[in-house]
Structure 1
Amino acid sequence: MNKLIEKLMKRWGVESYGGLLIILFIFSITGMTALYVRKYVFGLLGLNAETPLLLEILAWILIVFPAYQILFLLYGFLLGKFEFVWNFEKKSLHRIKRLFARGENP
């Protein structure tokens, strides 16, 4: 377990256990909040167990994914880790972009 923690700290450039805990807290609170956003917005739109899967996936991509990104940045700012969160976002979105950009060099 200690090796995992040290590996994360090195990979993310975090110098203290407290900093790592804040970052992990940001990830967890963002995920939980995104689930509340999903429940609320899907309810407003009338999406439920009867909704076709394709429509639910589309709603997820158009609503929940952007909400997660915004919440992630907001929590990072509020908890003093905006620089880490912003750099993490840029790397993540660049990786997603590469999935859809065929034939380009990485």
Structure 2
Amino acid sequence: MKILQQLKSRWGITSNWQVLVILIVFACTGFTALYARRFVFNLIGIIDTDPFWLKAVVWLVTILPLYNIFLLIYGALFGQFEFFWAFFKKMMSRMVPGKSGSGG
């Protein structure tokens, strides 16, 4: 149960139920991203024998943004949109130089 306490503290939440829902959202998002990758790669024509760098670039350009969209959609469906919107803004502030995590 120490892990639950650490997650609640890190995420700024108080309920074990909310931790469970957030973990379910992450799981659903991950599975959806896996299926989206398969679909997008087939659509573009990327196959197993293509070079890793090509697959990595295509993944970064297509699946990473889709993952964030799926995260917000599932967060909204599970009633945790505010949490995932704050999570998204924090992640973007770390990924995009010169952007702050605050605002809109």
> Is the TM-score greater than 0.5?
yes
Q: Which residue of 2 aligns with 1:11?
A: 10
- Per the normalisation by structure 2, the TM-score is 0.89
Q: Percent identity?
A: 40
1:36-85 Cα distance to aligned partner (Å, 9 max, x none): 00001101111111112221111101110011000000000111000000
Q: Which residue of 2 aligns with 1:104?
A: none
Unaligned runs of 5+ in 1: 102-106
SS of residue paired to 1:68: helix
Shift >3 Å, 4+ stretches: none
- Per the normalisation by structure 1, the TM-score is 0.87
| Partner Cα separation in structure 2 for residue 76 and residue 6 of structure 1 | 21
| Partner Cα separation in structure 1 for residue 85 and residue 29 of structure 2 | 14
RMSD: 1.5
| Partner Cα separation in structure 2 for residue 76 and residue 25 of structure 1 | 9
Aligned length: 99
| Structure with more relative contact order (C-alpha pairs < 8 Å, separation 6 or more) | 1
